[in-house]
Amino acid sequence: MKTGEKETVSLLITGAWVLTQNPERKIFSPGAVAVRGAEIAAVGPPDELSERYAPAQTLDYPQGLIIPGLINAHTHAAMSLFRGLADDLPLEEWLNSHIFPAERHLNGDFVYWGTKLAVAEMLLSGATTFCDMYLWAGQVAQAAAETGIRAVVGEVLYDFPSPNYGPPSAGLQYSEELCRTWRDHPLVNVAIQPHAVYTCSPDLLQQCGELAARFDTRLIIHLSETHREVADCEAKYGATPVGHLHKLGLLSSRLLADHGVVLSEADMNLLAASGAGVAHCPESNMKLASGIAPVVDLLAKGVPVGLGTDGCASNNNLDLLQEMDTAAKLQKVHRLDPTALPATQALDLATINGARVLGLEKKVGSLAPGMQADLVVIDLDRPHLTPIYDPYSHLVYAAGGADVQTVLVHGRVVVRDRRILTFDLEETLARARELARSLQK
């Protein structure tokens, strides 16, 4: 479609800066992104794009910093309804006396509204894709589709009965149906998600691996999160969790290991050789006192590392801008090296690396022609972001989720000037309060 000399596009969005996160890490200042339907048509100087394109809509942010939508590589979205229910406790007491009893009240309605609540928070803090592991994953998918956020969802699978699908054997069938139902959805992807090596038999793990291969999708598992998990696995199977998966033939580029805190040199080499990815969750690992993941070492070995918030019961927010800050600082103090995990790499974790560990690197994570139009505008007109010398530094070390102004997912404006356009936030907050009251009874 041409209008005179110009091609018609759906949207032209301009800002003071565009950080593309393309392979050359090209920056435009000022910069613009032309959007054609769900896709990015072009990224470049505003003048140049204005000459080439006739946009149906324009969004102009003279003090905006435009970045790729952030990618939350590991969370349990519906746990937003458990935020602050119990904190600062020993892990066993936290799980057995608080989280597991609360989860016994779970149902599909709870998961649906909890996920919508989390989506509101994620969109308003710049996440455009999240990878979720939880029960009633069909409801998670439904909530994602309705709210217009991109998601990788998966039903959590283990050796004991689930309040959702019932007996363990039904879990694989539920997952398979989930794969079929959402196969062609533009926003929702389904992964196979066994919970952990301490809750899944080798047999279940292998069946999960086969199902993931059959549907050519990700196999996602909590792996090497705590010292206790590693010690127990070694005692039971004579191998670390990574070694255990290796022996089961499950290490591959299809695998995403959530947490990856307690990793030996041999574990890291196995992950690197297999092409598997890691979802790093620094704030959860700190709050639960699990330990500090060897992110710098993993990256040096070529293991792709994404960034996740984990669920709200162990963080307690879903703010990836804050998570990048913590990730960078935690590696520095852990290694006593201020050059460790610089701001540019921290942003990589939450963008291109996140896309890669989820198998979405050809769709999202960077701003380039042909990529899906998932992007975020950060408002720089704030005291804590004024003046600006280095946009990477401000993003990682100074900004917070509340500085997000406008968000596009799949070419659609889902947040504009901090208002959610795709669903009723007030209704979601009201339902969340109701569900919390019923939980407390």
Residues from 85 through 114 that contact a copy of itself (CB under 8 A)? 85, 87-91, 94
Round to whole Å and give the CA distance between 255 and 260.
Answer: 12
Considering only 147-155, 196-204, 273-281, 376-384, which stretch makes contact with a copy of itself by CB under 8 A?
Answer: 376-384
Binding a copy of itself (rule: CB under 8 A), the pick from 32, 34, 143, 328 is: 328
Tokens, residue 356: 């890669």
Q: Which amino acid is at 359?
A: G
Nearer to a copy of itself, 77 or 256 (CB): 77
Binding a copy of itself (rule: CB under 8 A), the pick from 179, 270, 307, 312 is: 312
From the CA atom positions of the chain, what is the Rg in Å? 21
By CB under 8 A, residue 398 contacts a copy of itself: yes
CB of 314 to a copy of itself, least distance (A): 9
By CB under 8 A, residue 425 contacts a copy of itself: yes
By CB under 8 A, residue 198 contacts a copy of itself: no
111: CB partners within 8 A, 6+ apart: 78, 134, 135, 136, 139, 140, 143
Count residues binding a copy of itself (CB under 8 A). 74
Site map 206..225 versus a copy of itself, x via CB under 8 A: --------------------
> Helices 137-147 and 168-182 sit at what angle, rounded to 10 degrees?
20
Binding a copy of itself (rule: CB under 8 A), the pick from 249, 273, 384, 417 is: 384
117: CB partners within 8 A, 6+ apart: 80, 81, 428, 429, 432
Nearer to a copy of itself, 24 or 88 (CB): 88
Residues from 119 through 178 that contact a copy of itself (CB under 8 A)? 120-121, 124-125
According to DSSP, the residues that pair with 32 across neighbouring strands are 14, 44
Binding a copy of itself (rule: CB under 8 A), the pick from 25, 332, 369, 421 is: 332
By CB under 8 A, residue 318 contacts a copy of itself: yes
> Do the strands 2-3 and 6-19 form a parallel or antiparallel pair, or are they unpaired?
antiparallel
Contact assessment for residue 226 and residue 258, using Cβ atoms and an 8 Å cutoff: no
Strand, helix or coil for residue 394: helix
CB of 339 to a copy of itself, least distance (A): 6
By CB under 8 A, residue 316 contacts a copy of itself: yes
95: CB partners within 8 A, 6+ apart: none
Q: What are phi and psi of 2, to 5 degrees?
A: -125, 140
Render 276-333 in DSSP notation, one character per residue.
Answer: -EEEE-HHHHHHTT-----HHHHHHTT--EEE----GGGSS---HHHHHHHHHHHHHH
Size (the chain), residues: 441
Nearer to a copy of itself, 145 or 340 (CB): 340
Binding a copy of itself (rule: CB under 8 A), the pick from 340, 368, 416, 421 is: 340
By CB under 8 A, residue 291 contacts a copy of itself: yes
Round to whole Å and give the CA distance between 334 and 340.
Answer: 9
By CB under 8 A, residue 433 contacts a copy of itself: yes
Binding a copy of itself (rule: CB under 8 A), the pick from 23, 387, 419, 441 is: 387
Contact assessment for residue 230 and residue 193, using Cβ atoms and an 8 Å cutoff: no
CB of 247 to a copy of itself, least distance (A): 28
Contact assessment for residue 15 and residue 65, using Cβ atoms and an 8 Å cutoff: yes
By CB under 8 A, residue 394 contacts a copy of itself: yes
Nearer to a copy of itself, 251 or 281 (CB): 281
Binding a copy of itself (rule: CB under 8 A), the pick from 72, 115, 322, 353 is: 322
Residues from 254 through 283 that contact a copy of itself (CB under 8 A)? 283
138: nearest Cα among 78, 94, 75, 92: 78
Considering only 23-31, 118-126, 156-164, 216-224, which stretch makes contact with a copy of itself by CB under 8 A?
Answer: 118-126
Binding a copy of itself (rule: CB under 8 A), the pick from 333, 370, 417, 427 is: 333
Tokens, residue 340: 């460790």
Nearer to a copy of itself, 244 or 280 (CB): 280
Nearer to a copy of itself, 145 or 398 (CB): 398
For 259, how many CA atoms within 13 A lie in the half-sphere containing its CB? Answer: 26
